Amino acid sequence: QMVRDQIGQHVFTVHRLDRPTSGVLVFALSSDVARQMTELLTEQHVNKVYYAIVRGHTEDAGTIDYALKEKLDKIADKQARKDKPAQDAVTEYSTISRFELAHPVGRYASARYSLVKLIPKSGRKHQLRRHMAHISHPIVGDTTHGDGKHNKFVRQMFGFNGLALTCNEMSFTHPVTQKPITIRSEF
């Protein structure tokens, strides 16, 4: 609605983010281009780069290849099959930096965190959040898959109430002009 009001015409959502995630969004100005862009996303012809702050010190780099059972929304997915098998899901990550805060959290004398670059190779619901939790490095501020003690710590210490996950970049070939497009946001 805000984008529509800003440019004075209807827009079609192509790439959206979970409410607490920040970063790049993509809209189309026609339903036909929106459909074509959705096909590019579905066929994994769109490259996305995310950054996250996670609990603990991560390895220098890695690939998380862990199938995810589809999480159904009680309202939007009422008609969906509830017995679907887990779907393949792959995320590549690399550690940008590691840091430690001299404050006890839980049973540990200090709080350790990593800034990681995440590249999803598939597009499953909450994939990055679920994958990082799977390798015991949940994203800071994730109230569903995260670490409540660390979330509370960053809320109290820094007043941070969000999710430390941002979509920093998306690259694709424009479906009409066939030109390469890269969209970046600050993080």
Residue positions annotated with a catalytic role: 18
Number of other CB atoms surrounding residue 156 within 10 Å:
10
CB 124 within 8 A of CB 68: yes
| Whole-number Cα distances in Å, 29 to 2, 34, 38 | 14, 8, 13
Q: What CA–CA distance (Å, rounded) separates 69 from 18?
A: 18
Contact 88, 53 (CB under 8 A): no
